[in-house]
């Protein structure tokens, strides 16, 4: 399966511009990949102090995602700023070419305005597509191994993190993406944004595709604005899991709340 990572600057709060830029990228990938992964809140940036930018699952951001998936013949994963009643959510999505789309909300909201203005999620976004099992998590979720855990050894094959991870803590991103791949014996995709947000926080990328042993199959240069495509090998994943089934020795636990 071909998977494309999009590391791109997001103009904070400028939905029209962001949809135009990501739309041009999406159209350039038509017929060339199986899955496109976008950064966190791709249409607005991490403008969590502006919940008025949130939109429904029938809004322009998701309509655009559905169009790209349909016309491009690929799936699209990422997150957007969602509204549901009087509440705002950082909502992950996975949309397939046939128009099927699944959602789940970010569980671990970041300290500050995201916790102030947004509502956390309480379930995983797990999707099977072309025989591959995916889990989509969002940014700060990366720091919490229990929420990411491949509990049965077969919960997912590919773990996706869509992010706006800051430059000042990028060493944690680099270390934790590798750790999540190794401990869960899964491919890990981490797609981060670049640029400077409305809080003057810098984001320098480091998007990556890792194999189930933590080896880098695909990576970006710092501050690179670009699109890169790699491949995952399900036969290799099965070989790794069967040869050393670490998950069978994992401690049992229950997630509450």
Residue 106 falls in the annotated catalytic set: yes
Which of 55, 139, 167, 219 is catalytic? The answer is 139
Identify the H or E element spanning 191. Answer: strand 187-192
Which of 40, 55, 114, 219 is catalytic? The answer is 40
Residue 95 falls in the annotated catalytic set: no
Tokens representing residue 198 in the block = 């409305």
| Residue carrying the six token digits 């559905």 | 66
Say how far apart CA 253 and CA 73 lie, in whole Å: 39
**Which own/partner contact pairs does 131-135 have at CB distance under 8 Å and 24+ positions apart?**
131/234, 132/1, 132/157, 132/158, 132/232, 132/234, 133/157, 133/158, 134/77, 134/94, 134/158, 134/159, 134/160, 135/159, 135/160
Which of 15, 66, 106, 167 is catalytic? The answer is 106
Residue 139 falls in the annotated catalytic set: yes
Residues 6 or more apart whose CB falls under 8 angstroms from that of 52 comprise none
For the annotated catalytic residues, the residue numbers are 40, 106, 139
């Amino acid at each position: 399966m071909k998977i494309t990572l999009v590391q791109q600057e997001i103009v904070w709060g400028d939905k029209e511009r962001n949809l135009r830029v990501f739309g041009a990228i999406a159209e350039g990938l038509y017929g060339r990949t199986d899955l496109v992964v976008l950064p966190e809140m791709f249409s607005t940036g991490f403008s969590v102090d502006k919940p008025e930018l949130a939109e429904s699952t029938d809004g322009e951001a998701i309509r655009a995602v559905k169009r790209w998936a349909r016309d491009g013949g690929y799936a699209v994963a990422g997150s957007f700023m969602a509204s549901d009643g009087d509440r705002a959510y950082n909502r992950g999505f996975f949309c397939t070419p046939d128009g099927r789309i699944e959602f789940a909300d970010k569980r671990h909201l970041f300290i500050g305005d995201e916790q102030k203005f947004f509502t956390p999620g309480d379930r995983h976004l797990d999707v099977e597509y072309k025989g591959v099992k995916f889990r989509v998590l969002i940014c700060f979720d990366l720091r919490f191994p229990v929420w990411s855990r491949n509990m049965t050894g077969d919960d997912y094959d590919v773990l996706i993190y869509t992010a706006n991870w800051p430059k000042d803590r990028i060493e944690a991103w680099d270390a934790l993406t590798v750790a999540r791949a190794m401990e869960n014996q899964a491919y890990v995709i981490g797609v981060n944004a670049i640029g400077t947000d409305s809080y003057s926080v810098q984001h320098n990328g480091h998007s990556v595709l890792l194999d189930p042993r933590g080896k880098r199959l695909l990576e970006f240069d710092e501050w690179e604005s670009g699109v890169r495509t790699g491949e995952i090998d399900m036969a290799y994943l099965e070989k790794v899991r069967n040869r050393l089934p670490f998950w069978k020795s994992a401690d049992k636990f229950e997630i509450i709340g």
